[in-house]
Structure 1
């Protein structure tokens, strides 16, 4: 299945589904030659929290900016609530926006910042005051209305920016890496806070980030971008546990890779020969015939570790390979062991921290094993 076909299949919906946001064959180029976004087809349901995830230059932010109205598609159409918004300027799209740099007015108080979107829409004064008070309560800043942005911490400023995007009850909220400027602890706290606000309000959110943990924590669905295309769009757990190709497997979470050649394939499984001559069984995902090169994907937490090397492999539903411990890394609640397995000297295993974990030391020969269902044969890297 091609990446274009994959994108179309991944967003397929029931016949009675009415998407809130629709991208239809959207393309974007800045120089007339290189496509930053390639034939994007995407449906977003009402009330959904969808994250656009990918590395820099993958097309995720450009897609968000086209939805916001700050960029114009080269071709294709974008629809909101059933109507095309291609010709609408940003301020007429009924969209709230949260930026990484907050974009608060420094000369205004917090309350005045929140009131600004309402004054632009000519809301009555009494309604404006009530909405501002409600928005401040929502982000737990009731006592900060008279302060100016410079008097607030980074986390407080981000709360104000979020409240301002929501104060006029937009039908859609867009967030462009809004937590990127915060430290780790505050960023994790704000992830949960934004998630809880979304759950309480039920507003549609499109969120852009390159932080995979952030995406997994907050999203209803995640669309993984690379080279201007959606590689996979899915629920967070399915995206992590069932990546459709090597890019997704390597970009989402930690991933162990082993290279090999498919020797036979049957019933959704395949036998893969490694460069060392050993064989393992895997779920056939991106392979369909013998002789194909493949990259095997196995998550570190799916691997079990036994003392002593073993040359036993591919028996029943379990794979087993000999390995050598190269390095141990203490992380409090667990150990990370770096192993040499087949042709990979960076094969990582997570071991729960217990008394017997001390027995796995650098230089020890061990064996690793995992179930066939946890090993995916993907496209070669």
Structure 2
């Protein structure tokens, strides 16, 4: 865990350096002059970094992207690109590539003509345009599709063309707004790795917007988790998952068991929490108050284990539960239990040896380490 946090601090220090590529400084946005949809947004992105803005619908992430692109103007604050303010710079002068969810391809043009368009408006020579179009098609593995029109392509192929068009004029920055939202699960996963491969090979800076947690964890160097116009936490994917700083991040990133209670003791790295159901749990105090305050305990389902007396020293918390439901999910089994008064307590176990012996109605002892149980805000 300490290695994860140290690496996260190192990444943040690199991004905070004076040569950062993109910088948002105290940016706010209101559409009606009263309610802020973005509140005091600060973000530094270094050159070549892949940063994802993640959050539920209406959290402000797309508005931030649109302000970066120039389609929206900040109500307050400043946006810098390569150290220069761009608040008043029109979109076409920012030199930014943009990929949208709906592809936004010209239906009357061929694939090659779609890719050539941003080069033609920049008045490049025909030979240069052809060279760059060929290179962009090869980049997204569509070398044989230049003569087709968008309607003759699958959804995944159209998204590749949209990505190639954003990259064809070799921008230093590419913005992506939910670009994979319209694709099916398998194709979406394939495109995630494709975009990650292109990012690694080109070294271009990318800012990506999504509400899909898996997508963000798969692709990003760092993730900014949004809620209600505010960044709740900015960190590397593993830090967000392993060390969420508040209850919203813990519940939004991955599956999470939540137990509510009151802090009854704090001592060094540990605290004791009396649950509403009466049991006392040992946990790691992260964002909880002093003794007497309410807190939310966060515990990942895969960190819960069937209690084994040989591991008694590792499993500081042990409670009796009842199996309510067992779901087979191929690579793992998801078991829903009644534990500590919670009927939605989840246990995930790898399907290494076939089906689990657990059955609905069965009593079972489960345990977990205090290090894996985080006491967060109420």
Task: Name the CA distance, whole Å, in 1 between partners of 2:154 and 2:56.
Answer: 28
Residue equivalent to 2:335: 337
Q: C-alpha deviations, 1:76-108, integer Å up to 9, x for none?
A: 100000100111110100100000000000111
Change (3 A) 1:134 1:269: same
Task: Name the CA distance, whole Å, in 2 between partners of 1:183 and 1:68.
Answer: 27
- 3-state SS, counterpart of residue 13 of structure 2: coil
Describe how 1:211-226 pairs up with structure 2 within 5 A: 211-226=212-227
Task: Name the CA distance, whole Å, in 2 between partners of 1:39 and 1:77.
Answer: 11
- 3-state SS, counterpart of residue 337 of structure 2: strand
Contact 1:254 1:300 in 2 (8 A): yes
Deviation, structure 1 residue 266: 1.6
Residue equivalent to 2:118: 117
Residue equivalent to 2:254: 253
Residue equivalent to 1:5: none
Task: Name the CA distance, whole Å, in 1 between partners of 2:296 and 2:89.
Answer: 46
The answer to which of 364-373 and 63-72 deviates more is 364-373
Task: Name the CA distance, whole Å, in 2 between partners of 1:71 and 1:328.
Answer: 48
Deviation, structure 1 residue 10: 11
Residue equivalent to 1:60: 61
Describe how 1:265-276 pairs up with structure 2 within 5 A: 265-276=266-277
Change (3 A) 1:118 1:254: same
Q: Is 1:70 the counterpart of 2:71 in the alignment?
A: yes
Contact 2:318 2:365 in 1 (8 A): yes
Describe how 1:1-381 pairs up with structure 2 within 5 A: 13=13, 16-306=17-307, 318-353=316-351, 358-380=356-378
Change (3 A) 1:140 1:378: same
Deviation, structure 1 residue 357: 5.0
- 3-state SS, counterpart of residue 40 of structure 1: strand
Deviation, structure 1 residue 347: 0.4
Ranges in structure 2 where 5+ consecutive residues have no aligned partner? 1-8
Task: Name the CA distance, whole Å, in 2 between partners of 1:130 and 1:354.
Answer: 51
Deviation, structure 1 residue 358: 3.4
Residue equivalent to 1:6: none
Q: C-alpha deviations, 1:99-150, integer Å up to 9, x for none?
A: 0000000111100000001011111111110000000001111111011101
Task: Name the CA distance, whole Å, in 2 between partners of 1:160 and 1:352.
Answer: 39
Task: Name the CA distance, whole Å, in 2 between partners of 1:10 and 1:264.
Answer: 33
Residue-pair matches, total:
367
- Per the normalisation by structure 2, the TM-score is 0.94
Residue equivalent to 1:3: none
Deviation, structure 1 residue 269: 1.6
Task: Name the CA distance, whole Å, in 2 between partners of 1:250 and 1:288.
Answer: 19
- Per the normalisation by structure 1, the TM-score is 0.93
Contact 1:10 1:234 in 2 (8 A): no
Task: Name the CA distance, whole Å, in 1 between partners of 2:11 and 2:25.
Answer: 12
Deviation, structure 1 residue 333: 2.2
